[in-house]
Amino acid sequence: MHNRQIGPLSVSAIGLGCMNLNHAYGVPPSEADAIALLNRALDLGCTFLDTAALYGMGHNERLLNKAVMHRRSEFTLASKCVLDMYDGQRGLNGSPTAIRKTLDDALIRLGTDVIDLYYLHRLDKAVPIEDSVGELKRAVEAGKIRTIGLSEMSAATIRRAHDVHPVAAVQTEYSPCVRNPEIAVLDACRDLGIGFVAFSPVARGLLADAVHDDHYAKGDIRAGMPRFVEPQLGHNLKAVAQFNALAAEAGCTPAQLALAWVLSRGRDIVAIPGTRSIAHLEDNMAAGDMVIGADILARIDSLFEGDAIRGTRYPPALQAQIDTETFPGECD
């Protein structure tokens, strides 16, 4: 797989989002299966692993330590702070003190002295972004992290953060049916020389032919996401069916088509799909060097115009934590 540049970091065009190995999608796989998948990803040329303090309440970082830290030289390691567990409860804290503790704990859980890319997972609107980034700047100076990232933040916030310390990467949901970064974030990143990391590039399974109804397993976050439940889901699946037909026409899986579309949007973009299946992992990694014709790419764009996808990305409480720009009427 070819590499792409994210700030000073060179990483595989398709990385691996590790969240669902411990978090958010029902019962996780066994530890042995998760370890096998992580090592298979490295074997396939994936050199970018993305985790966070929040995922599995620290267990995801511990999993990476056990599974692949003996292969540390083979991959770029990304993790996140601000969203974490505070006094036994999930919370948002962008204060320097909280960031420092989360980072120090993460280094212990990961079994490493340095994290290559460390994100502010969300914007804590109670703390000036300058204060939060200032703490990460001090962590860079202390040698605890190599580069700074931002997740789900607006163009205005990105520019303020970048004034404090160069930002290497911005991570936001981006797929053929989630286009919010195109409002302003991608332009800001390109103006400032910041790489873009697309999470949920197959739309949480919607564009991987993995969602057919809203009967989710207990603990699956999609059960609380408006676009993944009725009546919105039935409407959305009509566009998804057309997308699946385009994938068949292109001779690839729907997930591969979604990933190829994301990578086609610019050489400064990498994708980090997550999966629990080694077969799906292998399909995803194969999309890294896939070339899709301009006609099909244009038809994808047309397919998801207007209200082809209805419902917000998050329920109201979580949407309130998102700083990324929204389209007119998106959150009504």
Question: Does the annotation mark 55 as catalytic?
Answer: yes
- Judged against a pLDDT cut of 90, whether residue 231 lies above it is answered with yes
| pLDDT confidence bin for 166, thresholds 50/70/90 | very high
Q: What are 68's two structure tokens?
A: 């692949």
| pLDDT confidence bin for 186, thresholds 50/70/90 | very high
**How many other C-beta atoms can be found within 10 angstroms of the C-beta atom of residue 30?**
9
Instruction: Look at residue 179 and give its three-state secondary structure.
Output: coil
Catalytic residue among 25, 55, 119, 314, which?
55
Given a contact cutoff of 8 angstroms between Cβ atoms, the answer to whether 149 and 171 are in contact is yes
pTM: 0.97
* Amino acid 213: pLDDT: 97
Virtual torsion, Cα 215, 221, 225, 229, nearest 10 deg = 0
Q: What is the pLDDT of residues 261-315, one digit of tens each?
A: 999 999 999 999 999 999 999 999 999 999 999 999 999 999 999 999 999 999 9
| Section 50-79 average pLDDT | 97
| pLDDT confidence bin for 126, thresholds 50/70/90 | very high
Closest CA to 40 of 59, 21, 24: 21
Phi–psi pair at 48, nearest 5 degrees: -145, 110
* Amino acid 208: pLDDT: 97
Closest CA to 136 of 127, 147, 128, 123: 147
Q: What is the pLDDT of residues 76-118, one digit of tens each?
A: 999 999 999 998 889 999 999 999 999 999 999 999 999 999 9
C-alpha–C-alpha distance, residues 307 and 235, integer Å: 9
| Section 167-181 average pLDDT | 98
Phi–psi pair at 170, nearest 5 degrees: -120, 130
Question: Which structural domains are found in the chain, ordered by start?
Answer: 3-204+264-290 (3.20.20.100)
Instruction: Look at residue 294 and give its three-state secondary structure.
Output: helix
| pLDDT confidence bin for 218, thresholds 50/70/90 | very high
Averaged pLDDT of the chain: 97
